[in-house]
Amino acid sequence: MSSYFQPVADLHTHTLASPHAYSTLTENVAAAAALGMLAIATTDHGPNTGDGGHIWHFGNMRILPERIAGIRHLRGAEANVCDYDGTLDLPERTLSALDVVIASMHDSTLPYGTPEQITETWLRVAEKPLVDIIGHCGSPQYAFDYEKVIPVFAEHGKVVEINEGTFRVRQKSLENCAVIARLCAKHGVRVAVNSDAHYLTQVGQLDSAVALLEEVNFPKELIINSNRERFEAFLQTKGLAL
Ligand SMILES: [Zn+2]
Ligand SMILES: [Zn+2]
């Protein structure tokens, strides 16, 4: 484990609600608690992938307590970007009731586009006030004009995710991730390190993402889950508390 910083929250995890993931919400929260984390977000895929949560899964998250296994649980979603207009696969009334919303591009819901198309798509997503985090945006298949878009993420207060899962399953993205991280540092864009866990042993495992940020000498004050104070500041922007 790097001494650069110790992540205090994991804001991107999947449960059995996404059938290609294999742990329950309760198991994931317990795994995060066992690591000494302060918080975890449950962010199953939006319904349009065919392998995501049913719309009722997201609508009913209001029944979940704020604290589970002694730590803060955030009710979330990884919404799919479904077209080049930046349309998401969950309605605003559902997203607005959640604590944290990630928007991601997946090949099951968005055809690979030209860099011009993907640039335009992210610019539109950036304008959506209910999106908090830009999910794993380093895929070469969804390359975009990083110099143009990253400052716009800053303008709209988006957090860019450095996704540990990328080091497992999207290694071709890593070069882009370093470019994106450097641009986030340059333009003052906040980032989060997230596991994208699909099984409980992956929860809170963030070493490669932390190492990437350390390599580019990323300013810790821009990493929202790098300590309690910064994480609480992020929650406050959402009207939430630990
Ligand atoms: Zn994803
Ligand atoms: Zn995910």
Distance CA 62, CA 134 (A): 23
pLDDT attached to residue 2: 64
Share of the chain above pLDDT 90, in %: 94
pLDDT attached to residue 3: 78
Q: What angle do CA 149, 44, 15 make, to 5 degrees?
A: 140
Identify the CA nearest to 177 among candidates 189, 202, 160: 160
pLDDT attached to residue 26: 98
Smallest-distance ligand from the CA of 139: 1
180 CB-near residues (< 8 Å, 6+ apart) = 137, 138, 146, 150, 160
**Residue with token string 């209910």:** 130
Distance CA 87, CA 125 (A): 8
Q: 176-203 pLDDT, tens per residue?
A: 999 999 999 999 999 999 999 999 999 9
Instruction: Give the DSSP letter string of the chain.
Output: --SS----EEEEE--TTSTT----HHHHHHHHHHTT-SEEEEEEEPGGGSSS--HHHHHGGGGS-SEETTEEEEEEEEEEB-STT--BSS-HHHHTTSSEEEEE--TTTS----HHHHHHHHHHHHT-TT--EE--TT-GGG---HHHHHHHHHHTT-EEEEEHHHHHH-GGGHHHHHHHHHHHHHHT--EEEE--BSSGGGTT--HHHHHHHHHTT--GGGBTTSSHHHHHHHHHHTT---
234 CA to centre of ligand 2 in angstroms: 20
135 CA to centre of ligand 1 in angstroms: 6
Smallest-distance ligand from the CA of 18: 2
Smallest-distance ligand from the CA of 173: 1
Q: 73-95 pLDDT, tens per residue?
A: 999 999 999 999 999 999 999 99
pLDDT attached to residue 163: 96
85 CA to centre of ligand 2 in angstroms: 21
pLDDT attached to residue 231: 98
pLDDT attached to residue 171: 80
Classify the phi-psi angles of 239: left when phi > 0, otherwise alpha if psi is within -120 to 50, otherwise beta: left
218 CA to centre of ligand 2 in angstroms: 23
Higher pLDDT, 220 or 171: 220
Tokens of 33: 């608690």
13 CA to centre of ligand 1 in angstroms: 10
Q: How confident is the model at residue 1 (pLDDT cuts 50, 70, 90)?
A: low
42 CA to centre of ligand 2 in angstroms: 10
106 CA to centre of ligand 1 in angstroms: 6
Going along the chain from its start, the domains and CATH numbers come out as: 9-237 (3.20.20.140)
Q: 46-58 pLDDT, tens per residue?
A: 999 989 999 999 9
Smallest-distance ligand from the CA of 196: 2
Average pLDDT over residues 225-231: 98
Smallest-distance ligand from the CA of 12: 2
Smallest-distance ligand from the CA of 194: 2
Q: 140-175 pLDDT, tens per residue?
A: 999 999 999 999 999 999 999 999 998 888 788 888
122 CA to centre of ligand 1 in angstroms: 15
pLDDT at residue 15 greater than cutoff 80: yes
78 CA to centre of ligand 2 in angstroms: 6
104 CA to centre of ligand 1 in angstroms: 6
Q: 24-71 pLDDT, tens per residue?
A: 999 999 999 999 999 999 999 999 998 999 999 999 999 999 999 999
